């Protein structure tokens, strides 16, 4: 390959990287736009769920509304941070647990990051083996709450579940499929989900099937898989 060809190849790589970064920023802007709209419309008596709360950035926005916000976070260090952060917020209910399609106890594999901070590494924590950016030798046993049962209980009490955010690093496949099969997605005003195809390449077919199911049954304004 000539020097000119090498230069062109490197330039094409840089352009591709910039395009991917731009697409990610646009996706984030759309997601936060949706969140701002949700926050503006929440009213007293509404219930919202932040599944995979991490350091509490989404919970913090929900906490400023009249809704009751349930935040689920299995990592003990992140949960301690959440307890400090929301100590003065009576409308925030914290759960030191992961969420799943059924109740269980599972290993939470810790994420790794070059930055070396809790905030940078914990966003990669996962219950699913085989993911990128995870140290599977570094894990902790955590409780997993049966989220479909939790939501069914809320609905059975006459609560209005207005918003559910699911960012659980690969475990969303089984959970969203169960919420769909149980008919619960129909009863939630808006569900947003981050999917993790790039992190779990071996689950590509399962992610594709999930996207097909959601596209065939729900409008993006009702169930949206393009969360950040």
Dihedral through CA 164, CA 119, CA 121, CA 142, nearest 10?
A: -50
Task: Mark out the alpha helices in the chain (DSSP H runs).
Answer: 3-41, 57-63, 76-85, 118-122, 147-156, 172-181, 204-217
Query: How many Cα atoms sit within 13 Å of 224 on the Cβ side?
Result: 18
Quick: pLDDT tens for 89-130: 999 999 999 999 999 999 999 999 877 799 989 999 999 999
So what CATH class is 42-103+141-224? alpha beta
pLDDT at 1: 61
pLDDT at 33: 86
Query: How many Cα atoms sit within 13 Å of 92 on the Cβ side?
Result: 26
pLDDT lower than 50: segments of the chain: none
The full set of domain ranges for the chain reads: 42-103+141-224
pLDDT at 2: 73
pLDDT at 177: 98
Dihedral through CA 24, CA 25, CA 31, CA 33, nearest 10?
A: -160
State the pairing for strand pair 134-146/104-111. Answer: antiparallel
pLDDT at 21: 67
């Amino acid at each position: 390959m000539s020097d000119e060809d090498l230069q062109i190849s490197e330039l094409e790589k840089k352009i591709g990287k910039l395009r991917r970064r731009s697409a990610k920023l646009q996706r984030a802007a759309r997601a936060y736009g949706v969140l701002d709209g949700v926050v503006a419309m929440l009213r007293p008596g509404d219930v919202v769920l932040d599944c995979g709360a991490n350091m509490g950035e989404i919970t913090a926005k929900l906490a400023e509304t009249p809704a009751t916000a349930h935040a689920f976070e299995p990592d003990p260090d992140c949960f301690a941070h959440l307890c400090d952060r929301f100590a003065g917020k009576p409308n925030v209910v914290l759960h030191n647990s992961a969420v799943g399609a059924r109740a269980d106890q599972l290993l939470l594999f810790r994420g790794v990051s070059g930055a070396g901070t809790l905030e940078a590494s914990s966003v990669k924590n996962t219950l699913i083996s085989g993911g990128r950016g995870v140290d599977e030798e570094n894990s902790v046993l955590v409780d997993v709450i049966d989220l479909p049962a939790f939501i069914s209980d809320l609905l059975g009490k006459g609560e209005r579940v207005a918003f559910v955010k699911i960012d659980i690093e690969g475990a969303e496949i089984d959970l969203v499929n169960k919420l769909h099969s149980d008919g619960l997605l129909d009863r939630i005003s808006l569900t947003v989900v981050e999917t993790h195809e790039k992190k779990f390449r071996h689950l590509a077919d399962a992610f594709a099937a999930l996207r097909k199911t959601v596209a065939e049954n729900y409008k993006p304004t009702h169930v949206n898989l393009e969360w950040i």
